[in-house]
Amino acid sequence: MSNNKPYYVTKEGLEKMKKELEYLTTVERKKISQQIAEARDKGDLSENAEYDAAKEAQAMLEIKISELEARIRNARVIDESQINSDTVNLMNRVKLKNLKTGQIIEYTIVPENEGDFKAGKISINTPIARGLIGKKRGDKVQIKVPAGTLEFEILDISI
């Protein structure tokens, strides 16, 4: 994630990323450094599987830290006061009726890393969210998902 593409997050999402970064840099880095030191103390590094595994874990951790730092650097906090409910957009709560089953469901469309299906939050990158973006109350939409095509009517859009 070395580009400068904006990364949209909620205020809570940004705080969560900052806490994760702090944990990775203060706790996980120390753990891996200790693992490397312990493996190094066991002697010959050329055939030391523990040392190789610890170095691999260190490389993976540094990649994760670097990606997280880039996301935080490029983060653009969503101003929820600027969101309207005329059409479905990021941060809207959408009430849908499944036209096949009659089931009523509600989702909040959130930035890509803040999805939590159990909490009713779907990532903007999901097929359902992409199919709803830009639609209005009363619109009927057909959305292709891996299991087939779903048909919804948009009952309400709120903030």
In this prediction, residue 9 carries a pLDDT of: 84
Read out DSSP for 36-95? Answer: HHHHHTTS-STT-HHHHHHHHHHHHHHHHHHHHHHHHHTEEE--GGG--SSB--TT-EEE
pTM of the model: 0.63
In this prediction, residue 100 carries a pLDDT of: 92
In this prediction, residue 10 carries a pLDDT of: 84
In this prediction, residue 45 carries a pLDDT of: 67
Neighbours of 38 (CB within 10 A): 12
Domains, the chain, with CATH or none:
7-77 (1.10.287.180), 81-158 (3.10.50.30)
In this prediction, residue 42 carries a pLDDT of: 78
Comparing C-alpha atoms, which of 86, 87, 128 is closest to residue 107? 128
Comparing C-alpha atoms, which of 136, 147, 153 is closest to residue 98? 153
Tens place of pLDDT for every residue, the chain, 159 residues?
445 667 788 888 899 999 999 999 999 999 999 988 888 887 776 677 888 888 999 999 999 999 999 989 988 888 777 777 789 988 899 999 999 999 999 999 998 888 888 999 999 889 999 999 999 999 999 999 898 999 999 999 998
